[in-house]
Structure 1
Amino acid sequence: MDFLSPDTVMDISNIRAALIRMEDTIVFNLIERAKFPRQPSSYETGGISIPNFDGSFVDWILREEEIVHAKVRRYQSPDEVPFFPDDLPEPILPAISYPPVLFPHPNNLNANDRIKAFYVNDIVPSICPDGEQKENLGSSSLCDVECLRSLSRRIHFGRFVAESKFRMERAQMTALIKAKDTAGLEAAITNSAVEKQVLARLKKKAETYGIDPNLMASASDKKVNADAVVAMYENWVIPLTKEVEVEYLLHRLDQQD
């Protein structure tokens, strides 16, 4: 996605292509995480003692990585939303002057707390066996960070979907926004046929990527629970993406004449 070319960014076909590629990243990240047990201590504040940090081990890794990535201007890109926005340093690389592609949201729309909650409480238990492996706490937590980051990017990409749909259906969207009709906005952005295609494609990907193609796969050979991956999208990723889209649209007319 070339954020220096706003017209290509707002092309709905380009957005859909980007979302499809993100599915691959998410599935592969979940396969890597599923190699390890749940590791509940890595998500608990104080579960692993960290000097001068009040949070979980996964939080600490996320924050430390974001500090480094911020220095190379990762979070200046319009498609990136950090988990710890208040802790980021200024980049050491020169700033890039991105043309505006999204309307500024007054609350810096950020769903990462909700993403982390459903990931820890629902997704990890559905793909990982119970238990702890102290020797693999670092490895599993690094997988968690990759999963969280890819889910965050996918869900927050709903802002681009919302902006594209607003531009295509400006009159209808404007009326719904002015009426603060959240149900109407959700209905307007929902395409049930596309959602069914996404879930079917995701199941096939999880089943295909999760086995050795040279082996006759049995249930024990599968590297990730494909049904759990589909349920994650159906119950969390798609609904939360819609929440992000609606939140974005509700403020789309702010400060406009």
Structure 2
Amino acid sequence: MNFLEPSTVLDLQNIRDELVKMEDTIIFDFIERSHFARCSGVYQANNAEVDIPNFDGSFLDWSLMQIEIVHSQLRRFESPDQTPFFPNHILKPILPSINYPKVLASYDAEINYNTKIKNLYIDHIVPMIAKRSGEQKEQMGSVTMIDIETLQNLSRRIHFGKFVAEAKYQSNKELYKKLILEKDVNGIMENITNSQVEEKILERLRVKAQVYGVDPTNKEGERKITPEYLVRIYRDFVIPMTKEVEVEYLLRRLEDEK
């Protein structure tokens, strides 16, 4: 998707194509994470096993913050599809800024679900996809790195709901203006929901998990990720949270119209 060309960014088919690409990335992240134990110590604040001076938080939080500081200097968070987990710590880019055309509403950066996404990942997704419970202290660094990559990709996928919301708003302004003025959350949710598209997503994920989740040379071998878990993650968590983002974005959309 070319963020320098706004007309392509708000094309719903282009958005759906981008979401399909994200599925593959996220599935392979889950498969990579499945090689390790749950390693709950990575997520424990002030873990005695890890001495982090002047930091009150988990090893994952500290590592993610450090990576975002570096990535911010590479202008990662200038891109409209990137949302930082630690927005108060990012730095100005060293590379020259890119003047992306403004596609989303002026408040889009204020819609940040990353804390929810991180809690969802730790509390629900990791227990489903981790190889086993328990610790692998020698693998804390590896676990943390794949966790960070997975969280960043989940964040991008869920926050893409802002582009979906803007595209739908532009396609039927009168309808959405009415719903927004009436603060009709249920009406907005009903109009942004496309059950047929969602079912296609879940069916596609089921097939991908069946193909990607097992060694093709040993189909009787251990499955790295089960179709049921992948479908559940999207059905119960990823899709609903994406729609939360869409609703919150749309409820404020008339702020820019003023």
Aligned to 2:20: 20
Are 1:25 and 1:150, in contact at CA under 8 Å, matched by a contact in 2? yes
The structural deviation recorded for 1:216 is 2.6
1:202-223: CA deviation from partner (whole Å, max 9, x where unpaired):
11112211111122334xx211
Q: Where does structure 2 lack aligned partners over 5 or more consecutive residues?
A: none
Work out the percentage of aligned pairs sharing the same amino acid.
49
Secondary structure, counterpart of 1:95 in structure 2: coil
Which residue of 199, 213, 219 corresponds with 1:216? Answer: 219
Asked if residue 239 in structure 1 is aligned to residue 254 in structure 2, the reply is no
- Cα deviation, residue 226, structure 1: 2.4
Whether the aligned pair in 2 keeps the contact of 1:106 and 1:251 (CA below 8 Å) is: no
Question: Could you tell me the TM-score, scaled by structure 1's length?
Answer: 0.97
Of 98-107 and 182-191, deviating more is 98-107
Q: State TM-score, norm by structure 2.
A: 0.96
* Letter of the 1:81 counterpart: T
Is the counterpart of residue 137 in structure 1 residue 148 in structure 2?
Answer: no
Deviation at 1:106, TM superposition (A): 6.9
Amino acid at match of 1:185: I
1:140 to 1:106, Cα distance in 2 relative to 1, 3 A:
closer
Q: Residue type matched to 1:39 in 2? A: C
Aligned residues: 255
5 Å-filtered alignment, 1:98-247, equals: 98-105=100-107, 108-128=110-130, 129-218=132-221, 221-247=222-248
1:80 to 73, 79, 82: 82
Structure 2 contact 26–154 (Cα < 8 Å) conserved: yes
Matched residue SS, 2:254: coil
Aligned-partner residue type, residue 164 of structure 1: A
> 1:97 — aligned with what?
99
Runs of at least 5 residues in structure 1 that lack an aligned partner in the other structure: none
Q: Are the equivalent residues in 1 in contact too, given 2:69–2:89 (CA < 8 A)?
A: yes
Give 3-state SS (helix, strand or coil) of 2:2's partner.
Answer: coil
Q: Which runs of 4+ in 1 moved over 6 A?
A: none
The one of 59, 62, 65 aligned to 1:63: 65
